[in-house]
Amino acid sequence: MIPSALAFLAGCAGFYRLARRWLPPAAAALALAFFAANPNLLYLQTTAMGEPLFVCETIWIALWLVEWRTCLDSDPKQARRLQGWIAAALVAAVFTRYDGWVMALLAWGCVGLVLVRHGGQARRGELRSRGFWLASVLVAAAPVAWFIYNAAAFGDWLYFLRGPYSAKAIEMRTSVPGFPPHPGWHNPLVALIFYMKAAELDAAAAAWGNMLFLLSLLGTAWGWLIARRRAFQWALLLWLPVLFYVYSVAYGSVPIFLPTWWPYSWYNSRYGMELLPALALGLGFAAQFAISTVREFKPQWAKVAACVLFALVALNAAAMVRERPLVYVESTKNIDARRPYDLQIPPALRALLVERPGGVILMDTSVYPEIVALTGIPLRQTINESDLEIYRDALAAPAAYASIVLAFEGDEVDRAVHAHPAGLNSLRRFTAKGQPPATIYVTDTPSAQQAR
């Protein structure tokens, strides 16, 4: 997808610029190579998933925070401009992923704290400036706007948190009674281990993961020691996903399944990708330490050492491709499970739409959204769970609102059909291994409803 690809390119540019704040060209380029050549990231930037965009936003937020703190005393005018860019990026992050909410709170709170605690009259004046408060209002308004949308669209301002498609509701539907819903449930330590393992498997070949993670941690510590006076502490924001996902896995009904550990499956493995910039930057500092050490004792071997490190980055990427990237494998598992329905249901719907031109389809698009695209119809030709009150009205009288109904066993549409079967005829049933059975119903009158 073009937006994801553009986010990938912008993220690479921002990452190199961030690394060059403290690292020489060779070490910064090595860190960039590790980041940009990651097979999982290269796969995700071809999809519509939100991770490439959020990673890009995280990088630029960290970069602009570093630059803002650096020029706060020397160039107040530039600092004000950067303040506006930081606020805009935080708003974008809030609307991209829920991690962005925590990032916005921490990042903008720290900006305000610096202005309050560290400075004289000039900084206190900046804190009182109209620009700062306008930016603050914009950052605060982003989550408020999401609350308002949920209230207007679904009648519950916390619908995303406690509605039928929330993480909690999905966990309740998929949990096995008598067993923990997922590893790390109410156990932050296990949640930490699972998230760090996911990040490790997303970033490195299986045999290299532990070493890579250790080097990255040591490199980050080294960076803190040598660059903390050059605003390096703001780059620690790149490690925020660790805290967010440990809490989310332990207490937020967010499971992460890995093929190496029970339950030996693939689920949400892509979340580890959000830690890739932090790991790459830490490795950049570790690489600079190694090159500097070689230069200190054997100056003539410094370039050889850099070439060896670049070769190791390439070998890591090649090994990951050979092992098949974790995020890519998860996507293929999903595709394989859905393929029978993707091949059977859309042709059946197209045939019915020939008889019912412009006919409206009542269906749940949250689990199998690709069926709409594969059928070749616009989303407006469906009544789905995002259609405000009309969806609830259609569930109360399916035949009155749609000429075709697609129900998956156990979903809201299926329950509505069984509760209000008047005017509906079961036409065809579909089954697939590991998937709920699906049934197509048609109304007694083919022209009952036309597209809105």
How would residue 120 be classed by pLDDT, with cut points 50, 70 and 90?
A: low
For residue 129, what pLDDT is reported? 80
Domains and CATH numbers, the chain: 2-324 (no CATH), 339-443 (3.40.190)
For residue 448, what pLDDT is reported? 52
For residue 387, what pLDDT is reported? 85
For residue 337, what pLDDT is reported? 85
Indicate the range of 167-176, 257-266, 284-293, 327-336 predicted with least confidence.
Answer: 167-176
For residue 171, what pLDDT is reported? 85
- The one-character DSSP state at 229 is G
Indicate the range of 150-159, 323-332, 353-362 predicted with least confidence.
Answer: 150-159
Instruction: State yes or no: pLDDT of 78 exceeds 70.
Output: yes
Are 172 and 297 contacting, i.e. CB atoms less than 8 angstroms apart? no
The average pLDDT across 81-105 equals 97
Q: Which residue has the tokens 């950049």?
A: 284
For residue 142, what pLDDT is reported? 97
How would residue 381 be classed by pLDDT, with cut points 50, 70 and 90?
A: very high
Provide the 3-class DSSP secondary structure of residue 432: strand
The average pLDDT across 123-147 equals 87
Say what percent of the chain tops pLDDT 70: 96
Residue type, 214: L
Render pLDDT for 197-223 as a digit per residue (tens, 0 to 9): 999 999 999 999 999 999 999 999 999
Render pLDDT for 35-62 as a digit per residue (tens, 0 to 9): 999 999 999 999 989 999 999 999 999 9
Indicate the range of 149-153, 211-215, 360-364, 428-432 predicted with least confidence.
Answer: 149-153
Q: What is the average pLDDT value for the chain, to the nearest integer?
A: 92
Number of helices (H), then strands (E), in the chain: 20, 5
How far apart are the C-alpha atoms of 398 and 422, rounded to whole Å? 8
How far apart are the C-alpha atoms of 233 and 256, rounded to whole Å? 29
How would residue 127 be classed by pLDDT, with cut points 50, 70 and 90?
A: confident
Cβ neighbours of residue 317 closer than 8 Å, sequence gap 6 or more: 37, 38, 39
The average pLDDT across 169-174 equals 81
Are 194 and 183 contacting, i.e. CB atoms less than 8 angstroms apart? yes
For residue 399, what pLDDT is reported? 94
How would residue 131 be classed by pLDDT, with cut points 50, 70 and 90?
A: confident
The average pLDDT across 136-156 equals 93
How far apart are the C-alpha atoms of 401 and 449, rounded to whole Å? 6
Strand partners, 272: none
Cβ neighbours of residue 314 closer than 8 Å, sequence gap 6 or more: 33, 37
Instruction: State yes or no: pLDDT of 322 exceeds 90.
Output: yes
How far apart are the C-alpha atoms of 316 and 286, rounded to whole Å? 16
Residue 68's CB: how many other CB atoms inside 10 A? 21
